[in-house]
Amino acid sequence: MRNRLWRVAAGLAIVVGVGLFALVAAAREDGAGLAIETWAVGSDGTPVEVEGQAAELLGRFGGPGLDALRGVSLMKSVGTNGVFRIATTSGKSCAAVGQFEAGRVTQLGIVQCPIDPSFPSAERPALDLSVITIAKGAPRGITRVQGLAADGVVSIGLVDATGAIAAEVPTAGNAYLLEDVPPGIVGLVALDKAGTAVPIQGSQT
Amino acid sequence: MRYRVAIGTTVVALIIAPVSAAATWSWGFNYLGNSSSNGNCMAPAVAVPGAVCSGWNYWNSNYMDKRGGGYVYLGWQKDAYTSGFIGVSGVTQVATVPSTVGLGGYLKSAAEYVSGAASYLQTQAYS
C-alpha cells in the first residue's frame, strides 16, 4: 500500500514538475520572463531627414494597423551606419538600418514595422534587424547584429550552437549594432539587468 | 513630315519608358508554408519546397506584407549556395536591400518558411 502511495506521489511530482517547466518555458518564450514592468522606449534619438532611396522605401509602408509613418530618429551610429526608429500615427514603432550623412538618411537597407506583436512589448522586447547569411560550406549564421531594444533590455546575447551565450552586445539609447559578429552565432536573446534571457523573435537560424 | 516623325518618336518613347524604368515581381497574397513553392528558388541555400523566389534580375529592394503566421525569412539568393536574409514573425511589414545582407548584382528575391504556422503574405521585388 505504502509503495503504491509512493508511486502515485512520484508520478504526481513528475507531472507537476513537467507542467511547471512548460509554464516557465512558455513565459520565457513570450518575453514575460524579463523584469520589465513598463514597456517603453525612453530615448528620443536625433531627428533626421529622409530623402531619395530611403524616402522611396519608406513609401511602401503603412495601411491598416500601422497608419502613416511620421518622424525618423537616429538612435545609434557607427561611422555613417545608423539604426533608426520611425514613429507612426498608430503609436507603433518601426526600425530601420542604413546610411546617413549630415543629418540626412540617404540609403536604407532594412526596414521593419511590426504590427502584432508590436514593439516594445513582452512578446517583442527587441525589434531585431539582424542579418542571417548562408555561404557555401558554412552553416546558417548571424553575421550582423542590429536593432532596437526596449527600456530595461541591457544587452543582446549572442547564442552559439550549444545554446550558450557566447558574447553580449550592450544596448545604448535603446539600440544595438555589432558589425563584426564572431562565427557560429545561431540566435539572439534579450537580457535584462538580472541576467534573465528571452529569445528575440526573428533571430533563430 | 519632320513633325510627324518627331511626334511619333515621342509617342514611342512615352510607351517604352514606363516598361524600362522599373520591373516589379509580386507573389501573393497567399500562404507561405513548408510545402509552398513557385519553382524559382535554388536549394540548398533556400528551401525547396518551403519558399518562393522571383526570377533573376538586378533587383534594388524587396518588400513583404505579412498578415499572420509563424517565422519566415525575407532576403536574397545569389546562387544555390549563397543567400542573405532577415527573420520576421507575427504581423509585420518589412523591406530589404541586397547590399545590406552582403549581396549584390544578379539576384533572386526570396521568401522562405522557417517554422510555425503558414504565413499569409504578399512579397514584391523592385528593380
Could you report the per-residue pLDDT of A42-52, keeping only the tens digit for each? 999 999 999 99
Residue A10, pLDDT above cutoff 70: no
Quick one: CA dihedral A133, A138, A140, A143, positive or negative?
A: negative
* In B1-127, beta strands by DSSP E: 24-32, 51-53, 61-66, 71-79, 82-88, 91-96, 108-115, 119-126
Amino acid (one-letter) located at A64? P
| Cβ–Cβ below 8 Å for B71 and A109 | no
Residue A154, pLDDT above cutoff 80: yes
Mean pLDDT computed over B71-83:
96
Please state, rounded to an integer, the average pLDDT across all residues of chain A: 86
Of A175, A181, A187, A182, the closest CA to residue A44 belongs to A175
| Cβ–Cβ below 8 Å for A65 and B91 | yes
Interface test with A, best of B82, B88, B100 (most A CBs within 10 A): B100
Q: What is the ipTM of this complex?
A: 0.84
Closest Cα in chain B, distance from residue A99 (Å): 10
- Give me the phi and psi of A71, to 5 degrees please: -80, 155
What are the pLDDT digits (tens) for B8-26?
Answer: 444 444 344 444 457 799 9
Going by DSSP bridges, is the β-strand pair B108-115/B61-66 parallel, antiparallel, or unpaired? unpaired
Chain A residue with CA closest to B91: the answer is A116
Q: What is the pLDDT of residue A32?
A: 55
Of B22, B26, B23, B46, the closest CA to residue B121 belongs to B26
What are the pLDDT digits (tens) for A22-68?
Answer: 333 444 444 457 988 889 999 999 999 999 999 999 999 998 888 88
What are the pLDDT digits (tens) for A76-99?
Answer: 999 999 999 999 998 899 999 999
Q: Where are the domains of chain B?
A: 21-126
Report the C-alpha gap between B95 and A112 in whole angstroms: 7
Domain B21-126 has CATH 3.30.750: no
Residue B38, pLDDT above cutoff 60: yes
For A133, the closest of B61, B63, B83 (CB atoms) is: B83
Q: What is the pLDDT of residue B12?
A: 40
What are the pLDDT digits (tens) for A105-122?
Answer: 999 999 999 999 999 999
Residue A9, pLDDT above cutoff 50: no
CB of A83 within 8 A of CB of A147? yes
Residue B48, pLDDT above cutoff 70: yes
Q: To which residue does cell 514611342 refer?
A: B12
Q: To which residue does cell 534579450 refer?
A: A190
Interface contacts (A, B; CB < 8 Å): 102
